[in-house]
C-alpha cells in the first residue's frame, strides 16, 4: 500500500492533468447537439491530438526500463493517430455530401 501512495505522490501533477482533461473533454463533447456532428468530429480530433502529445510526453519522460509506460504510451500514440486520421476521413466525407454536384 505504501508503494502505491508513493507512486501517487510522485505523479500527482500528471494525475491532475489527466483528470482535468477528462472533465474538459466531457464538457466540450457533451454540449454539442447531434445535428452538429461534423464540428463534433473536429473537436474530437483536437482532443485526440492532445492525447497523442500527452502520450509522447509520457514516453519521453519514462525511464528506459519502465516497459509498461513505454508500451502504453506507444499504444496511445498509435490508437490516437488512427482515431485522428479516421475522424478526418469521416469529416471529409460528410463535407463532400454538402457540395453541389456538377
pLDDT of residue 40: 66
In Å, what is the CA distance from 29 to each residue of 39, 49, 69, 91, 93? Answer: 10, 15, 28, 16, 21
DSSP 36: G
What is d(CA 83, CA 38) in angstroms, rounded to the nearest whole number? 15
30 vs 54, which has greater pLDDT? 54
Q: Is the pLDDT of residue 57 over 80?
A: yes
Mean pLDDT of the chain: 80
For residue 5, pLDDT over 80 is answered with yes
pLDDT band at 54 (very low <50, low <70, confident <90, very high): confident
Amino acid at each position: 500500500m505504501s508503494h502505491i501512495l508513493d507512486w501517487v505522490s510522485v505523479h500527482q501533477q500528471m494525475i491532475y492533468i489527466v483528470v482535468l482533461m477528462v472533465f474538459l473533454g466531457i464538457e466540450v463533447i457533451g454540449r454539442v447537439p447531434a445535428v452538429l456532428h461534423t464540428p463534433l468530429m473536429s473537436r474530437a480530433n483536437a482532443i485526440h491530438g492532445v492525447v497523442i502529445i500527452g502520450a509522447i510526453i509520457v514516453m519521453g519522460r519514462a525511464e528506459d526500463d519502465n516497459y509498461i509506460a513505454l508500451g502504453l504510451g506507444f499504444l496511445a500514440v498509435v490508437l490516437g493517430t488512427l482515431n485522428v486520421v479516421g475522424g478526418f476521413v469521416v469529416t471529409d466525407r460528410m463535407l463532400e455530401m454538402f457540395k453541389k454536384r456538377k
